[in-house]
A = this chain, B = another copy of it.
Amino acid sequence: MPPAHPFDFDAVTDGDKLHEECGVFGVIGPPDAANFVALGLHALQHRGQEAGGIVAHDPEQGFNSARRFGYVRDNFTKASLMETLPGPVAIGHVRYSTAGKKGAAIRDVQPFFGEFSMGGAAIAHNGNITNADELRRELIDRGSIFQSSSDSECIIHLMARSLQRDIPARMEDALRRVEGAFSIVAMTRTKLIGVRDPLGVRPLVLGQLGDFWVLSSETCALDIIGAKFLREIEPGEMVVITADGVESRRPFRPRPPRFCIFEHVYFSRPDSIIGGRSVYETRRQIGVELAREVPVDADLVCPVPDSGTPAAIGYAHESGIPYGMGIIRNQYMGRTFIEPTEQIRNMGVRLKLNVNRALIEGKRVILVDDSVVRGTTSRKIKDMILDAGAAEVHFRIASPPTAWPCFYGVDTPERSKLLAASMSEDEMRDYLGVDSLRFISLDGLYRAVGEAAGRKPDCPQYCDACFSGEYPVEPRDMIAKGFELKAAQ
Contacts and interface: CB of A to CB of B under 8 A. Distances in A.
Interface of A: 1, 7, 30, 32, 35-36, 38-39, 42-43, 45-46, 49, 71-74, 77-79, 84, 114-117, 137, 140-147, 156-157, 160-161, 220, 223-226, 269-271, 273, 277-278, 280-281, 284, 306, 309-310, 313, 317, 322-325, 328, 330-341, 343-344, 347, 350-351, 354-359
A387 to B, nearest CB: 10
B347 A39 contact: yes
A271 B322 CA distance: 18
| Copies of this chain, tallied across the complex | 4
B224 A332 contact: no
B332 A309 contact: no
A281 B358 contact: yes
A330 to B, nearest CB: 7
Interface of A is mostly: mixed
A134 to B, nearest CB: 14
13 contacts: A7-B73, A32-B341, A32-B343, A35-B343, A39-B337, A79-B339, A117-B140, A147-B147, A224-B350, A270-B325, A278-B356, A278-B357, A281-B358
Contact of A77 (B278, B331, B336): B336
Nearest to A43: B330
Nearest to A7: B73
**What 3 A-B pairs have minimum CB-CB distances, sorted nearest first?**
A278-B358, A143-B161, A79-B339
A343 B82 CA distance: 14
Nearest to A388: B223
Contact of A145 (B115, B137, B343): B115
A25 B217 CA distance: 44
A338 B277 CA distance: 34
B160 A156 contact: no
A74 to B, nearest CB: 7
A280 B328 contact: yes
Nearest to A283: B325
Nearest to A72: B332
Contact of A333 (B73, B270, B335, B344): B73
A116 B143 CA distance: 7
A281 B306 CA distance: 20
A3 to B, nearest CB: 11
A121 to B, nearest CB: 10
A336 B161 contact: no
A42 B7 CA distance: 14
A313 B350 CA distance: 24
B147 A359 contact: no
Nearest to A71: B332
Nearest to A223: B354
Most B Cβ at <10 Å: residue of A35, A42, A116, A145? A145
Contacts of A43: 330, 354
Contacts of A39: 337, 344, 347, 351
Given A223-B350, A332-B73, A356 B271 contact: yes
A358 B45 contact: no
Contacts of A137: 117
A27 B341 CA distance: 16
Contacts of A42: 330, 332, 337, 351
Contact of A224 (B36, B145, B354): B354
A325 B313 contact: yes
A391 to B, nearest CB: 17
A80 to B, nearest CB: 9
Contacts of A332: 42, 45-46, 49, 71-73
A273 B338 CA distance: 29
A142 B144 CA distance: 10
Contacts of A147: 145, 147
A145 B140 CA distance: 12
A272 to B, nearest CB: 9
Nearest to A114: B145
A84 to B, nearest CB: 8
A166 to B, nearest CB: 15
B328 A271 contact: yes
A337 B73 contact: yes
Contacts of A350: 223-226
Nearest to A277: B358
Nearest to A361: B278
A79 B80 CA distance: 14
A341 B86 CA distance: 12
A129 B32 CA distance: 37
B225 A347 contact: yes
A334 B141 CA distance: 46
